[in-house]
Amino acid sequence: MSCGNPQSDVKDPGAETPERRTKPKNKICLKCKTEAPVIQVRHALYCRNCFIFTTSGKFLKWFLATFKTTDIYPAFYIGVSGGPSSRYLLHVLQTQLTPRKGKGNFIRPGAAEKLVVIYVNHANVVPGAQNLRKDIENMIKGYPNAEIIEVDVDSAWKDSQSSISAQLSGLPGQPPSGTTSSSTADLFDSTLATSSLESHLSLLTHHLILREARKHADGLVGKDKELPLFLATSATRVTIKLLSSMSRGRGWSLGSGEVQPESSQFGMRIYQPLLNTSSKEIAYFNKYVVPDDSKPVVNRTFSTFAPPKSSIDRLTEELVVSLERGFPSTVSTVAKTGNKISFAGEAKEGERLCTLCGWPARAKANDWKNGIAITKLDDKVESTESDQPSLADILCYGCYTNLTDSRARSEVNYALPGWTNEYAESQKLTEESMREEIKDCLLDDDE
Amino acid sequence: MIKRPKTGQQVCKDCFFFAFEEEIHKTITDAGTFKRGERVAIGASGGKDSTVLAHVMKTLNDRHDYGLNLFLLSIDEGITGYRDDSLETVKRNKEQYQLPLKILSYNELYGWTMDRIVEAVGKKNNCTFCGVFRRQALDRGASSLNISHIVTGHNADDVAETVLMNILRGDVSRLGRCVEITTRGEDTIKRSKPFKYTYEKEIVMYAYFKKLDYFSTECIYSPEAYRGFARTYIKDLEALRPSTIIDIIHSAENIRISDVVQDALPKQQKCKRCGYISSNELCKACVLLQGLEKGTAKMAIGNKAKHISQEVTGDIRTIPMFKMPEQQQKAEQRV
C-alpha cells in the first residue's frame, strides 16, 4: 500500500549507515526477566508492561523531583499540537491533576486545579494543514477540568503597526499595507525558502503559546506570579532543534532556555519534561496506552513529503534519524549536551529581546556578520543614521538572517507582529533604567 | 567574474584576491594574533589549505609588515603513496616562498609509521592515532625550532564541522574551545586559525586562480564514518543557505558551558611520562603508543584506556620528554 508520499521512491540515505547497534544477548525483558520483550530502547529490551511502567516512570520521577507534593497551582498550561509528543504529555500530565494515594495514609492532592491546553492553528498559513481543534477536544474530553484555548497564527499580526519592507532597503519602517490577515499571508507568501518559513512558524507558534498562557494566567493570579507551562519537546526533537538552531545562528538563545528542561520566559515557568524520552518511546507508549478514539494526529508542515535537502529542519531531521539508526546513543547524548549550555550574556544584556521571536538578542549581532566579510573596496560608509532603529537593532541574529535570507523578491512587505512596538517600548525602558542606575557617574558636559 | 560563495557578490578576480586576503588580515589583526618579531610555524601538509595559508601569510607579512619570521613545518605520518607525494609539494613550496622547512616524522618520534599502525589496528580507528600523534608532533617540531606559535589551515567549514562533531559527541569542553582563533594553555604552543572565517570553496578558488602548487589527493585511509555524516550535513546546509557555515560559528561563539559542568571537567596537567599537556596522568599519545608497543592497540581507544597500566617496562619505546621552546633553548645551550 502506498503511504501517499510522492518522495517514497527516493533512496533512503540512512540505509547505508554502518550498523553499530549492540544486539542484546538475552531475549527476555531487562526489567522483569520473565516476559518476552516487545521493544528495544537503545541497548535494552522491555516487555510491554515494563516498557509502559519505565517510560511513564521517567516522567513521574521528573515531576516529583520538580514539584513539591503540597504545591497546588491554579492551572497547568500545556502547548498541544495534536502530535504524538503532546498527546503523550497530555496523558501523563493529567494523571497528576487528580488526588492520589501517597506513602502510608497520605493522600497527595492534585498538583493543579485545571489543565489549560493551548493550541495554535496553522491551517491558514501551511498549505494542506487542517484545524485540529476537534481532535484535541476529543483527546481531553475525559480529563477533569481541562479547557482549550485556540489561537490562529494570524493573530500575531493583530494590532500590527510596523513593517520591515522599507528597512530592508535601508529606509526607516513604514506602516503595513492591507489588513491583518493579508499581512500574515504576505510574510509567508513572500518567503520562498522553506528553511525560513518553518523557522518563522516555529518561533511564532512558541511565542503565541507563551502570550496566550500569560494572558490567561494574568486573569487567574495577576501579572507577578509565574505559572507552569509545559511543552512536549522530545529528546529526538530537541536534538533536531539544537542542531538546526546552531545552523541558523541562534546560539545566543540556545543558552536561554530553548533546549533546557526548565527556563523562564515572558512571565511563565517553562518545563520541557520529555527531553529524556525519545520519539520512538513516545510513539510506542501512545500505541500501547492511548485509547484508539483519541490517538495523536499528525498535521502537515511546510516540509511534509519534502526531500531531505528541502530545508534546514528537514535535513537535520534526516541526519539525526540516520545517526540514531547506526549510533543509538546520539539523541540522548545531544539532548544532554543542550542541558549543559548556559546563557553567555550578562544579566542586563539578557533583558534585550528580539521583537520577532521574543528570545534574548545580542546587541549589534549583525555587525559581527558584516565585520567578517569585505563587501566594498572603498572606505565610503553610507549614512544609515535615522531616528528609527535599524532592523538589526530590533531583531536577534537568527531572525535577521531568516528575514534577509527570505528576501527572494525585490518588493516585499513583511509586517512585524503586533507585539513589536510593545517590546520596543519595553526595551527603551530598560535603557532608561540602566541610565538611572549609573546616573551618579554621569557628568554634565558644562561642569 | 566570480560569484563569491561567502557573500554571493559578483566580483572580478583581482577584487576577489584583495577581499580574500584582507579578510584574513582583518581576522588576524582583530584577534591580535601575532607579535612583531615572533617566530611562527605554518603547519604545511602540501594540501590546498596549508598551501594557500603559506602564500597568504607570506603576502600579508610583506604587505602589512607584520615582522614575522615564518617557517614551514611538516609532519611525515608515513603513509606510502600519500604523504611522501604531498611532502614533495611542500618541498617545492619551500623554494617558491623562500621559507625554511622542517619535516618531523612519526617514525622518528614514535618509532611507528601510519602504515604500520593501520596494519596493527585496522582502518577503523586509525584516525584516532593519527590525530593524537600529529598534534604532539607539530608542537614538538615547533619547539625544536624555538617556535611557540603555529598557524594551521583550518577553514570555516572545518570549524563548523568540529562544532557539530563536538555537539554530537557531547564533548562540551572542546565545544567552547574549538571556535577560538588562537588557543593556548599555560604549557602549550599557541595555535591559530587565520582561516577561521574563510570558506573552503573560496580557498579552492584562490588556489585555482592563483595557480598555486598543491597536492589534492585525499588520505588513503578513509575518514571516520561518523565525521563523514557531519561533513555531508555541512555541505548540504551550505547548499540550502550559504551563510550557514558562518552562522554555526556565530552560534558556537555565543554559547557558554554552564559553571557546574565547567567545574566538573578534568583539570589540565602534565603527562607523567612525556611532560606533554594532558587531562589525565598519562597523555593520550603515551597511552596509544603503549598500546601499540604491547600489541593491545585497540584497548588504548575509548573507555578501556582507563584500565591500561601506567607501569613502564624497560622494553617498550616511550616518547621523549616535551620541552617548551625556552626550556629547549636552555637545554641546547647547556649541551
The DSSP code for A248 is: T
Contact B243 A316 (CB under 8 A): no
Q: Is residue A200 one of the residues assigned to a domain?
A: yes
The CATH superfamily of B2-269 is HUPs (3.40.50.620)
Please give the Cα distance from A314 to A323 (Å, whole number): 14
Same domain, A50 and A146: no
Q: How does pLDDT run across A3-53, given as a tens digit for each residue?
A: 555 444 544 444 455 555 556 667 899 999 999 999 988 888 999 999 999
Which is more confident, B177 or B328? B177
Please give the Cα distance from B63 to B18 (Å, whole number): 12
Nearest to A254 by CA among A150, A104, A377, A361: A361
Q: Is residue A369 one of the residues assigned to a domain?
A: no
Nearest to B110 by CA among B308, B298, B286: B286
Give residue B128's pLDDT band: very low, low, confident or very high (50, 70, 90): confident
Half-sphere exposure of B163 (CA within 13 A, CB side): 33
Same domain, A189 and A153: yes
Number of folded domains in chain A?
2
- Mean pLDDT lowest among A325-329, A354-358, B238-242: A354-358
Q: Does A69 touch chain B (CB under 8 A)?
A: no
B158 is annotated as contributing to ligand binding: yes
Nearest to B257 among A248, A319, A341 (CB): A341
**pLDDT of amino acid A173:** 37
- DSSP class per residue in B75-123: EE---TTTHHHHHHHHHHHHHHHT--EEEEEHHHHHS--HHHHHHHH-S
Same domain, A88 and A37: no
Same domain, A313 and A207: yes
Match 608515513 to its residue by C-alpha cell: B78
Q: Is residue A140 one of the residues assigned to a domain?
A: yes
**pLDDT of amino acid A14:** 47
Domains of chain B by residue range: 2-269
Of A299, A324, A346, the one marking the end of a domain is A346
Contact A333 B9 (CB under 8 A): no
**pLDDT of amino acid A202:** 92
Q: Is residue A27 one of the residues assigned to a domain?
A: yes
Contact A321, A314 (CB under 8 A): no
Q: How does pLDDT run across A161-170, given as a tens digit for each residue?
A: 666 553 443 3
Q: Is residue A4 one of the residues assigned to a domain?
A: no
Query: What is the grid cell recorded at A155?
Result: 493573530
Contact B163 A246 (CB under 8 A): yes
Same domain, A62 and A74: no
Q: Does A16 touch chain B (CB under 8 A)?
A: no
Same domain, A60 and A73: no
Give residue A390's pLDDT band: very low, low, confident or very high (50, 70, 90): low
Contact B90, B72 (CB under 8 A): yes
Q: Write down the mean pLDDT value for chain A.
A: 80
Residue at B63: amino acid letter: R
B183 sits in which H/E element: strand B182-183
Q: Does A306 touch chain B (CB under 8 A)?
A: no
ipTM value, please give it: 0.88
Residues in A 367-386 with any Cβ partner in B closer than 8 A: 368-369, 371-375, 377
Q: Is the pLDDT of residue B327 over 70?
A: no
Nearest to A289 by CA among A55, A40, A32: A55
Same domain, A38 and A147: no
Across A245-262, average pLDDT = 88
Q: Write down the mean pLDDT value for chain B.
A: 87
Cβ-Cβ contacts under 8 Å, B15 against chain A:
377
Q: Is the pLDDT of residue A254 over 90?
A: no
Q: Does B167 touch chain A (CB under 8 A)?
A: yes
Cβ-Cβ contacts under 8 Å, A252 against chain B:
251, 254-255
**Which of B244, B265, B303 to mutate to probe the A interface, most A CBs <10 Å?**
B244
**pLDDT of amino acid A160:** 67
Q: Is the pLDDT of residue B257 over 60?
A: yes
Query: What is the grid cell recorded at B274?
Result: 612525556
Nearest to B240 among A311, A330, A397 (CB): A311
Q: Is the pLDDT of residue A384 over 80?
A: no
Across A351-379, average pLDDT = 75
B54 is annotated as contributing to ligand binding: no
Contact A405 B243 (CB under 8 A): yes
- DSSP class per residue in A22-79: PPPSS-S-TTTSSSPP-EEETTEEE-HHHHHHHHHHHHHHHHHHHS-TT--BS-EEEE
Match 531487562 to its residue by C-alpha cell: A30
Contact B251 A251 (CB under 8 A): yes
B314 is annotated as contributing to ligand binding: no
Contact A243 B164 (CB under 8 A): yes
Smallest CA–CA distance, residue B202 to chain A, in Å, is 12
Which is more confident, B203 or A191? B203
Give residue A181's pLDDT band: very low, low, confident or very high (50, 70, 90): very low
Same domain, A61 and A138: no
Contact A246 B172 (CB under 8 A): no
**pLDDT of amino acid A382:** 46
**pLDDT of amino acid A179:** 39
SS (H, E, C) A85-115: HHHHHHHHHHCCCCCEECCCCCEECCCECCE
**pLDDT of amino acid A176:** 37
Of A346, A373, A392, the one marking the end of a domain is A346
Q: Does A117 touch chain B (CB under 8 A)?
A: no
**pLDDT of amino acid A190:** 67
- Mean pLDDT lowest among A33-42, A54-63, A79-88, B310-319: B310-319
Contact B233 A316 (CB under 8 A): yes
Q: Is residue A247 one of the residues assigned to a domain?
A: yes
Nearest to A51 by CA among A289, A235, A272, A234: A289
Same domain, A57 and A201: no
B49 is annotated as contributing to ligand binding: yes
Residues in A 235-294 with any Cβ partner in B closer than 8 A: 242-243, 245-252, 254-255
**pLDDT of amino acid A285:** 96
Please enumerate, as own/partner, the contacts of A388-392 that have beta carbons within 8 Å and a separation of 24 or more. A388/A167, A388/A172, A388/A173, A389/A424, A390/A167, A391/A164, A391/A167, A391/A168, A392/A364, A392/A365, A392/A366, A392/A367
Q: How does pLDDT run across A121-153, given as a tens digit for each residue?
A: 999 889 999 999 999 999 999 888 899 999 998
Give residue B218's pLDDT band: very low, low, confident or very high (50, 70, 90): confident
Number of Cβ pairs < 8 A linking chain A and chain B = 133
**pLDDT of amino acid B328:** 63
Containing structural domain, residue A309:
69-173+183-280+291-346
Nearest chain A residue (CA) to B261: A340
**pLDDT of amino acid B186:** 61
SS (H, E, C) A128-160: CCCCCHHHHHHHHCCCCCEEEEEEEHHHHHCCC
Cβ-Cβ contacts under 8 Å, B226 against chain A:
323, 327
Q: Is residue A366 one of the residues assigned to a domain?
A: no
Same domain, A37 and A74: no
Same domain, A42 and A112: no
Which is more confident, B51 or A223? B51
pTM exceeding 0.80:
yes
Q: Does B1 touch chain A (CB under 8 A)?
A: no
Match 511565542 to its residue by C-alpha cell: A207
Q: What percent of chain A has pLDDT over 90?
A: 39
**pLDDT of amino acid B107:** 92
Match 553567555 to its residue by C-alpha cell: A344
- Give Cα A44 to chain centroid, integer Å: 30
CA distances from A26 to A31, A44, A52, A64 (A): 12, 10, 20, 33
Cβ-Cβ contacts under 8 Å, B237 against chain A:
247, 312, 315
Same domain, A154 and A267: yes
Smallest CA–CA distance, residue A188 to chain B, in Å, is 18
Please give the Cα distance from A325 to A134 (Å, whole number): 35
Match 510593545 to its residue by C-alpha cell: A422
Please give the Cα distance from B240 to B233 (Å, whole number): 11
Contact A246 B164 (CB under 8 A): yes
